[in-house]
Every structure is written in structure tokens, then in C-alpha cells.
């Protein structure tokens, strides 16, 4: 297996670098799973400066990650799986694939998550992230026009 194309042909899935052709599917998944969904233009702009991966199952994009790699740490900016593909280990695979691609000098990964996103917080805890801070009113939930605080979480890498 190479680092850019994590794949399991037996189970019919692979993780590929995100490209422009994936953005309509990625935006559709984001619309289904986020209360403040990124627009297609945000994903497109992200691809200029950040890294993205998609999970393809069969012929279709079913999940994605967007992350950025700085000098000392990386930030997981977004991750999402189509609802019917959640809870099957694909989130773990996307995160593993991201960590696998990190340069050796990156020793920590940080992220923000909505305080009410219990499922994602449980996921991140299971993936070795710890809560380190709270950012008040960090998110705008555009669907309901409300704001929400973010937990900041950190995972150290060996």
C-alpha cells in the first residue's frame, strides 16, 4: 500500500487525495452532517492551501477529511461521513490515513468540535484526543442562526 492510496480491494473501498471532481459529493455529505455546512467554494479554497482526502466505497465518495499541516502541528479542519456509512470504522480509517501522511516532525494534531457534537467527541476520545480548551461562541450554526462553543482537542503523535 502506498501512502496516497490507502485501499482495501476486498472490501471495495479506498482513500484518495481529494480533487476538484470530488467537491460536489463532498459538499452534499457536508450538507447532510453539519449544522453549519461549508460551501463548495470553501472546500475549493481549502484545497489550495490544505490537504484533503476522500473515502470512496464502490464508485461513490462517502466521506472526507480536510487538514492542514503547519510547522509544528497539524489541524484537522473537517471530517464527515455520509450517515449510512458512519459507525463502521471508516472515520478511524480516514484519521489513520491522515496521520500516516504526516511529516515526521509533526508531533501533535489539534481540532475544534462543537460542544454538542457528542458523537464526534466520543469518536475523537476513542482516537486518543484529549480536551484542552473551550472557545466560546466559536461556531455559527447557519441552519438555526445560533452560535455554539467549541472544545479544542489535542492528540500527541509518537
For binding to ligand COA (CB under 6 A), which residues are involved? 33, 79-81, 86-92, 113, 117, 119-120, 122-123, 126
**Of residues 126 and 156, the one with the C-beta less far from ligand COA:** 126
Which residue of this chain has its Cβ atom nearest to ligand COA in the complex? Answer: 91
Task: Determine the Cα–Cα distance for residues 7 and 143; give it in Å rounded to an integer.
Answer: 35
**Of residues 70 and 87, the one with the C-beta less far from ligand COA:** 87
Residue of 93, 87, 29, 96 whose CA lies nearest to 63: 29
Question: Which residues are CB-contacts of 132 (< 8 A; sequence separation ≥ 6)?
Answer: 152, 153, 154
Closest separation in Å from C-beta 127 to ligand COA: 7
Contact 63, 84 (CB under 8 A): no
Contact 93, 7 (CB under 8 A): no
Closest separation in Å from C-beta 21 to ligand COA: 21
Closest separation in Å from C-beta 12 to ligand COA: 16
Closest separation in Å from C-beta 117 to ligand COA: 5
**Of residues 105 and 146, the one with the C-beta less far from ligand COA:** 146
| Residue in the structure block whose three cell numbers are 501533535 | 108
Helix (H, G, I), strand (E, B) or coil at 41: helix
**Of residues 91 and 102, the one with the C-beta less far from ligand COA:** 91
Amino acid at each position: 500500500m502506498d501512502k496516497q492510496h490507502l485501499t482495501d480491494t476486498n472490501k471495495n473501498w479506498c482513500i484518495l487525495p481529494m480533487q476538484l471532481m470530488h467537491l460536489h459529493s463532498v459538499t452534499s455529505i457536508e450538507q447532510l452532517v453539519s449544522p453549519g455546512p461549508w460551501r463548495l467554494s470553501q472546500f475549493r479554497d481549502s484545497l489550495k492551501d490544505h490537504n484533503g482526502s476522500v473515502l470512496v466505497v464502490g464508485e461513490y465518495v462517502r466521506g472526507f477529511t480536510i487538514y492542514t499541516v503547519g510547522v509544528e502541528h497539524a489541524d484537522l479542519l473537517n471530517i464527515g461521513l455520509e450517515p449510512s456509512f458512519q459507525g463502521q470504522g471508516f472515520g478511524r480509517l480516514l484519521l489513520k490515513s491522515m496521520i500516516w501522511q504526516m511529516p515526521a516532525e509533526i508531533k501533535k494534531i489539534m481540532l475544534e468540535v462543537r460542544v454538542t457534537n457528542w458523537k464526534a467527541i466520543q469518536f475523537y476520545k476513542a482516537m486518543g484526543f484529549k480536551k484542552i480548551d473551550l472557545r466560546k461562541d466559536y461556531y455559527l450554526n447557519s441552519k438555526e442562526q445560533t452560535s455554539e462553543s467549541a472544545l479544542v482537542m489535542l492528540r500527541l503523535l509518537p
